[in-house]
Structure 1
Amino acid sequence: MFDLNPLNNSNAWWQHVLMLVGAGILGYIIGYRSRRGTIAELEEELAGLDEQLDDCQKSQKNVAPPEGPAVTVPPVAAEAEQPAPLPVMEVPAVVAPEPMDTIVAPVADLPAAPLKHDNLKIVEGIGPKIEQLLNKEGIITFRHLSEATNERLVDILRAGGSRFHMHDPESWPQQAELAADCKWDELKARQEALNKGRQS
């Protein structure tokens, strides 16, 4: 019978080579078929995300105040009858005027308008957790991030814990400045030159 024992057959090397080649071809076919479906799914998802990104960038560029129908006021006829003025009765003022400093509230006591939070995750190298750390430290807009020093950003990351020590915030202020100025094409070109948020 056919025996694959190399000790019994001195010319068994070709049998081993044949088994290895067969196993390699079979493994390649199985891997190719399983990867082909995964690649197609990932390419489809990537195309959808690219469309969403383009729509988002277009909507940020094309933001304009809403236009409503023009309101026209009909002209007032000069010959229209004017109602008789009501008689005004004069009343003497009894209230003493208050000093000016008690009427005007200090600027510090006036309520401040809430700032709009920017999506800091647009900056390459910032994820949801780092965005939360920055927001806790008062960095909530691209302008705040562009004005932050590298030392302050490193201190914020160190205070966040050891899992944030690997991040390099050196390029974040430059990216944030481009985003604050709505220079999206320059930001995209800058981010393509970076490697996971780090200078190449």
Structure 2
Amino acid sequence: MFDLNPLNLTDAPMQHFAMLVVAMILGFIIGLISQRQTIRQLEAEHDRVEADLIDWQNRPVRLVNTSDDEETNTLNRIAVRAQALNFDRIGRATPTEADDLKKISGVGPFLEKKLNTIGIYTFAQIARFSPEDEDLVNDIIEYFPGRIVRDRWVSQATELTKK
């Protein structure tokens, strides 16, 4: 009789190849359309991270001094880690605006130097500390763990700000 085998046709391999290419193109288009939102989100996150990286690279690192003095080495080590603080939230201050931070119970002269080294100069800045900031500052200034919370720096600073 007659043969119904489509592979016996002379142009069958070409038809299979054409259908494969069409299926590939359709799959690509459908995937692109369905993932367009994800692509936009990832591109936005990439741009944000890249901008943060450029910002971090351009931030100056304040070094106190170079010497073999233990206090100076400690202050230099602390100054490098100060960039982790969110000064947009707690506020920025200059040395000319500095309060006498030693009025806070638990803050002595060297601890005040450490705080000044990382950019903390005023009671208002300390009053704006969140619990995360308290832990972060504790780590940065190499203070006893949890001591800022136990000494109630934030509430003391809030009271001193009102005066």
TM-score, length basis structure 2: 0.37
Whose helix proportion is higher, 1 or 2? 2
TM-score, length basis structure 1: 0.31
More contact order relative to length (CA 8 Å, sep ≥ 6): 2
